Structure 1
């Protein structure tokens, strides 16, 4: 019984360790392939000494009213995906973030 329990725990831990984020598939791929799949980014920034940062963003309206009235009023935020590419166009990193500032105000830090 102990062996069966231990085997079950090992299998569960192994399954959790191998679970990956679906966006990991883009690491090492070309910027061109990403743009074909996702469309053009909302903004592109030069990343000094590295390459570019492609910024994808979705604005989310948090309507405090439950009616189907306009969604413009009320607090809102942006869901960002930052795709970092080397100078050769290969993707090496991606990050996600949630911010209140619009894409026009984002700068490389």
Structure 2
């Protein structure tokens, strides 16, 4: 038996597996946008963006105002409950990765 908390063939410990082991069921991520920028886009580090993501593919139009974090969370939970029949959630800041 492997001393690892995951099957050896997985080669790494998936965060989803960890959450399932901790909470006894699947935990769904609720993506939130706090309106933060990214240091690789706003000039603090660079302006060219990041190698790992295409921010324009998931970032909303910044000319529109964002709903509050609480509103985004409640709406996301309602959607996940309806779609996946789940009870466990993880708030996840996504747009511009909020680094």
TM interval, shorter chain, is under 0.3
Whose RCO is larger (CA < 8 A, sep 6+)?
2
Between structure 1 and structure 2, the one with the greater Rg is 1
